[in-house]
Amino acid sequence: MNGLLPRLLSSHSPTSALRSCVVAARGAVSHPVWSLPGGLSVADPWRSAASPLSRPRLSASFCNVTRPPRHSPSYSSSLPHLRPSGTLGTTAYRLTTVPSAAPHRRPLSNLGKTRYSGRTSPETGKDRQALTESRPVSVPNLGAPLNDLKLRCTIFDQQGNVTTIAGEFSKSELCAQHGLQVRDLRKIDSLYVNQLPAILVRKEAILVNISHIRALIKADMVVLFDSFGSTDSYNQSIFVYDLQEKLRLAGSSNSAGKSGGPPLPFEFRALESVLVSVVSTLQDEVQVVSNLVTNLLAHLEEHIDRHKLKELLQYSKRMAKFEQKVLNIRDAIVEVLEQDEDLAAMYLTSKLKDRPRETNDHEEVELLLETYLKQVEETANIISALSTNMRSTEDIVNIMLDSQRNSFMLLELQVNIGMFGLTAGALVAGIFGMNLANHHEAHPFAFIMVSTAIFTIAAALILLSVRRMRRLLRKI
């Protein structure tokens, strides 16, 4: 009954659910009181002081339900409760609605965790008393907006100091503080998997989602978002250290512009740290994969092994995925370089000082992006060369396997030719082996003559077949 009542209440109206409860309770004589979700307490009308097994008929008021209209404001905050019209054991019961405690909101992570009051087997008087008490149901807020979800991030100030470590902010707060739209945060939300790399330029910030880095860059701070489920924790730690160093070295020679001019603005130093970390990660990964693939290809050129071929297949899939990743990063940088408006809008410090750049005045950031674009393209070329070598090795392996297959087929053909000659000789032997008189049994040279004829016929057929086979092989 403990599992039946919540299902009935969730799929029926209070009246039909109560009727179903009455029908289902006809076999239960040891449960005088039931406590339903939302404070709905049902007393067993068949249990009386005189006879526990007596089952008098319910009065008509038992199934009368009074509740406010569905669209009434009090409808969501009121739950049906069953109250006896007399003492426990009488036959007349009424189902009325009494207001329960206001449902409180619960986070979306607790969806589906509904608590039910009551126990399945009331054996003592204390348990029965506890079952008769009405308890409010914790109802989650199903209508909570998605922009109230929390994002965990770490904030760096203009000097590279950490002001907030693993702070949780809702999407609405981030949008209000940094002048963003909710759709912009989708690019830096780790809950959305398989996202393409992107560099989004907005009025007050630059959103970066490349490889293992999800960051929001402003003119005076950097917000680094945690990447849940990422396996690049080591690379992220190196990036944080490099980011702090670059932000602290503002005004030094290391932070000068690419053309030897004045130091780069704060947002460009942060963006450069992101690109350096991404390029370094790609180069390290391609170096490891290159060594493994080179050794594997050298081994396959000497000896074809089934296990090595399986490894080659795995590396081929890995290289294809890695190449696509590098190409997506390259496309993200190229997309920004092709938009002069975005390049000019990336000067956040100038806009903060009310000196926005012209559309064509973006030489510094263009040189910065082109520098790392070339490095990404070099990595892509290395991966492309490795993929070409792997495909060439696969072709060579296929040729070698085809050659071995042809050798086996040639051997099989030679065996068939030999069997053909022997079968022709066996035909002659079979003719003489019949139990018929041929008048050659007493001839002194009959056996030698027949045997010689058999071997001659077999050898002639074999030689002719081999000669014909070789002619066909020369034509190929």
Q: Of residues 49 and 418, which shows the higher confidence score?
A: 418
Flag whether pLDDT at 376 surpasses 70.
yes
C-alpha 38/C-alpha 115 separation (Å) is: 9
* Residue tagged 């005189």 (tokens): 50
- CB contact set of 225 (below 8 Å; sequence gap of 6+): 151, 152, 153, 188, 189, 190, 214, 215, 216
- Label residue 471 by pLDDT band (50, 70, 90): confident
Query: Distance between CA atoms of 399 and 305, rounded to whole angstroms?
Result: 14
Distance CA 27, CA 23 (A): 9
- Chain segment 234-270, per-residue pLDDT in tens: 777 788 888 888 787 764 544 455 545 567 888 898 9
Closest CA to 330 of 182, 191, 197, 177: 197
Average pLDDT over residues 4-8: 48
Report whether pLDDT(321) > 70.
Answer: yes
CA distance 94 to 46: 15
Instruction: State yes or no: pLDDT of 212 exceeds 50.
Output: yes
Q: What pLDDT is recorded for position 102?
A: 43
| Residue 133 vs residues 228, 314, 361, 371, 451: alpha-carbon distances, Å | 44, 63, 74, 72, 111
Q: What is the pLDDT of residue 435?
A: 74
CA distance 169 to 172: 8
- Say if residue 271's pLDDT is above 70: yes
Q: Which tokens is 137 given?
A: 């149901």
Contact 236, 213 (CB under 8 A): yes
451 band by pLDDT with thresholds 50, 70 and 90: confident
pLDDT of 382 > 90? The answer is: yes
Q: What are phi and psi of 259, to 5 degrees?
A: -95, 15
Rounded average pLDDT over 396-400: 87
Nearest to 210 by CA among 272, 124, 132: 272
Q: What is the CA radius of gyration of the chain?
A: 42
pLDDT band at 133 (very low <50, low <70, confident <90, very high): very low
Amino acid 379: pLDDT: 93
**Residue 326: CB atoms within 10 Å:** 23
% of the chain at pLDDT higher than 90: 14
| pLDDT band with cut points at 50, 70 and 90 for residue 68 | very low
The band of 163, judged by pLDDT with boundaries at 50, 70 and 90, is confident
* N residues, the chain: 476
Read off the pTM.
Answer: 0.58
Average pLDDT of span 296-318: 87
280: number of Cβ within 10 Å: 15
Handedness of CA 70, 74, 77, 83 (dihedral sign): negative
Residue 383 has pLDDT above 90, yes or no: yes
Distance CA 401, CA 305 (A): 11
Q: Is the pLDDT of residue 462 over 80?
A: yes
What is the rounded average pLDDT for all residues in the chain?
72
Q: What pLDDT, on the 0 to 100 scale, is given for residue 429?
A: 81
Q: What residues form DSSP beta bridges with 81?
A: 96
| Tokens describing residue 332 | 């993200």
111: tokens are 């969806």
Residues 6+ apart with CB under 8 A from 18: 42, 62, 63, 65, 80, 82, 95
Task: Report yes or no: 130 and 103 within 8 Å, Cβ to Cβ.
Answer: no
Confidence of residue 330 (pLDDT cuts 50, 70, 90): very high
d(CA 46, CA 32): 8
pLDDT tens digits, 273-297: 999 999 999 999 999 999 999 999 8
pLDDT, tens digit (0-9, with 9 covering 90-100), for 28-62: 444 444 444 444 444 444 444 444 444 444 433 33
